[in-house]
Amino acid sequence: MMLVRADVGGDGWWREVERQGAPWVEAGPSGQCAVTFLWRDPQGNERASPIRRVWINISGVTDHHSDTGPQSLERIAGTDVWFWHTSLGERWRGSYCFIPCRDDGDVGRLSAAAPGDRAGLRAAWRGVFPAAVADRLNPLRAWTNGRGHAVSALHMPLAPAQAAWRELDALGPVAGRTVPPLPAPAALARHRWRSERLGNSRDIWIFTTGRQHESGRPLALLLDGQFWARQMPVWSPLLHMTAAGALPEAVYVLIDAVDSRRRGDELTCNPQFWRAVREELLPRVAAWAPYRASPATTVVAGQSYGGLSALYACLNWPRYFGCVLSQSGSFWWPDRDAAQNGSGDACRLLGQIERGLGDGLALRAFIEAGDRERLIHRVNDRAVELLRGQGHQVDYRVVDGGHDALCWRGGLLDGLAALWSPRG
């Protein structure tokens, strides 16, 4: 009703919107929610502002490969108000951003991408992403995603609980002002690892959540460590879960990916990377923060390529890494197109599972995929089927979401709790 009020777009109306926050979420039919997104044009109405489109990009909802076309918010004539309505499942969770564009080449390229030209559409999206902004009306903390632009968080009412993240979420933008992040805890140390085998250097974060029984603490290796250290700091949630008794005192090692090129090389079933971790890094970790060196409690956790690498490490070196936490694992690697077309030979790691990797040892796995990820969802289904057929213990969860850290952060904590719980 607020969008049809006579004072829509006025200062008093906007003050009320800022107090209420956005997006607006209302109950809809058949397990759906009606969602309204709002954006305020900082340059005023259509006569004063050069903005002609405000594209919306929603993780797992916006299809960058389809010829259905992008979606733009709509301006209320004579005002600085842009809005867009959609429907989302009541268990959905994901991130989103706005992309305001002037009436220039960027608008034209994205609006006029030829039907069926998936490469052209993806290129057009890449062209407009540098203009992406987070939602200033959203009271939750925004962050920078893997593409390097700001995104905001949206949780439907029945999305799986993420109580441990509430403290970090509460540090969100308030009326456009971003509150500084939580300070790093005393139990956090950053080290520089120079690998002779890999010929490169990277940051390593070591985080401990207790010192009562140092030699008995389990170890978790978190790939893409720079994300969990900087963009989505995991310290407070880990402490919250430990204090609640959901996680044991533990040692967490966050391994920086260095850059996208080396990430694509090292996290795609690369034996040299894991030999370097095993032979060079882990002895140093033991000196920095003593832990229990047992495959039964050593977790390798990763997302996307990291999820692929985590399972690869545990299958090939199960006497060191016995617990895998894989989220949205890119098990289609190395040939996405062939895997999309149903070629089993395209998925190299799935073939390795079929051949019985693991030295006859039963791994413990927590695997998660989003039901909006299509190909990843399908290859994760197949990976779980094969792993269970080989006798591995697998906890598999499919969530209503996409390829999104907002989903992964909850599954990361749930997976650690499941993998470190007593075996049934």
Q: How far apart are CA 188 and CA 254, in angstroms?
A: 11
352, 355, 360, 366 alpha-carbon torsion, rounded to 10°:
40
Residue pointed to by tokens 């895998």:
324
> Which strands, in side-by-side order, build the sheet including 143-144?
51-58, 93-102, 150-155, 143-144
Q: Is 207 contained in some domain?
A: yes
Q: Is 128 contained in some domain?
A: yes
- Kindly state whether residues 287 and 383 are assigned to the same domain: yes
The reported pTM is: 0.94
- Kindly state whether residues 157 and 293 are assigned to the same domain: no
Q: How far apart are CA 300 and CA 255, in angstroms?
A: 11
Q: How far apart are CA 259 and CA 58, in angstroms?
A: 25
- For residue range 90-123, list pLDDT tens digits in order: 999 999 999 999 866 555 566 665 556 777 777 8
In eight-state DSSP terms, residue 424 is -
Q: How far apart are CA 148 and CA 138, in angstroms?
A: 19
Does the pLDDT at position 175 exceed 50?
no
- For residue range 240-285, list pLDDT tens digits in order: 999 999 999 999 999 999 999 999 999 999 999 999 999 999 999 9
Of 88-92, 111-115, 310-314, 415-419, the least confident: 111-115
Of 34-43, 59-68, 401-410, the least confident: 59-68
Q: Is 276 contained in some domain?
A: yes
Out of 136, 168, 200, a domain closes at 168
Q: What is the domain range of residue 151?
A: 2-168
Give 359 or 139, the one with higher predicted confidence: 139
R_g of the chain computed on alpha carbons: 23
> Which strands, in side-by-side order, build the sheet including 32-40?
24-27, 32-40, 81-89, 74-75
pLDDT of residue 118: 72
Number of residues that make up the chain: 424
pLDDT of residue 357: 78
pLDDT of residue 176: 46
- Would strands 74-75 and 219-222 be described as parallel, antiparallel, or unpaired? unpaired
334-338 — which CB contacts under 8 Å span 24+ positions?
334/268, 336/375
Give the mean model confidence (pLDDT) for residues 54-81.
87
The answer to whether 162 and 112 are in contact (CB under 8 A) is no
pLDDT of residue 108: 55
Residue among 372, 376, 374, 267 nearest 328 (CA)? 376
At a CB cut-off of 8 Å and minimum separation 6, what does 200 contact?
Answer: 194, 258, 262
Out of 105, 140, 168, a domain closes at 168
- Kindly state whether residues 58 and 29 are assigned to the same domain: yes
Q: CATH number of the domain that 217 lies in?
A: 3.40.50.1820
Q: E strand or H helix at 124, and its extent?
A: helix 118-128
- Kindly state whether residues 197 and 344 are assigned to the same domain: yes
- Kindly state whether residues 310 and 391 are assigned to the same domain: yes
**Average per-residue pLDDT in the chain?**
92
Q: Is 116 contained in some domain?
A: yes
Residue among 304, 299, 303, 312 nearest 272 (CA)? 312
pLDDT of residue 81: 98
pLDDT of residue 127: 83
Does the pLDDT at position 344 exceed 70?
no
- Kindly state whether residues 136 and 208 are assigned to the same domain: no
pLDDT of residue 111: 64
- Kindly state whether residues 144 and 193 are assigned to the same domain: no
- Kindly state whether residues 218 and 152 are assigned to the same domain: no
Q: Is 424 contained in some domain?
A: no
Give the mean model confidence (pLDDT) for residues 363-371.
97
- For residue range 37-47, list pLDDT tens digits in order: 999 999 999 99
Q: CATH number of the domain that 62 lies in?
A: 2.60.40.10
- Kindly state whether residues 386 and 296 are assigned to the same domain: yes
Q: Is 285 contained in some domain?
A: yes
Give 62 or 81, the one with higher predicted confidence: 81
- Kindly state whether residues 327 and 407 are assigned to the same domain: yes
CB atoms within 10 A of CB 123: 14
Burial of 326 (0-12, 13-18, 19+ CB in 10 A): buried
- Kindly state whether residues 159 and 193 are assigned to the same domain: no
Counting the structural domains of the chain, the total is 2
pLDDT of residue 358: 76
